[in-house]
Structure 1
């Protein structure tokens, strides 16, 4: 079993700038996928916003980020992050999801997604939003 947690930061239009800054501080590898890259543009003025991005350094630093689309609620300081739980298999993520979902509000059901074999989001009874997914290799 191999599960990791990563802080997933939420922005509105400034995720790329934040990721670039964290990359300049921590070094390592930076990856950004825009809504345009993913074929998921709903608002043309948000096409180049970050749908998914991360900075990973050799010394263990890892942060993920995205730009919350305008169709979803977002307020700086109210929902600034998610906790991302990534696992290597559907079985382990499904088991964790089943336990974590107890008493939670499901934001997005755990199911296959364009970018992962399984992906889901929930807000637990303590108000913490969790993103669980099965790791898929980055396809560039």
Structure 2
């Protein structure tokens, strides 16, 4: 079993151009999915924003990013709070640390250890894109995204 740890950047509507830029800089491949592709009505503001984005290169560069729900225009977020509001994850944190494993059993071990003294943002559970996905802010204020590779 192996895990991958990846920096997850949080943007206000410009994740797509940022990821395309990083792909050009690091000769990487871009993977993008919009909120509309995950079921948001296409006519709503923000539906074409990025809900999941990733750049990977053969040389080992890897970064993930998304557009914070309900935000538009203007670079990475500043600050450091993350919470759930009306079923949506809202954050002012400029990044998350993403840990991706091969199985739910594997990532559950990390989840249980990291959750000691943590604030749970989204419990570890099956999601539309993963057999297990969860988000927490640890006792040191770092927000972690833990999931199973699809």
TM-score by length of 2: 0.85
Aligned residues: 133
The alignment's C-alpha RMSD in Å is 1.6
Counterpart mapping for 1:1-140 below 5 A: 1-41=1-41, 44-70=44-70, 76-78=77-79, 79-136=93-150
SS in 2 for 1:76: coil
TM-score (normalised: structure 1): 0.90
d(CA) in 2 for partners of 1:114 and 1:23?
A: 26
Structure 1 residues not aligned, in runs of 5+:
none
Runs of 4+ off more than 2 Å: 40-43
Structure 2 distance, partners of 1:43, 1:132, is 31
1:83/1:49 Cα in 2 relative to 1: closer, same or farther (>3 Å)?
same
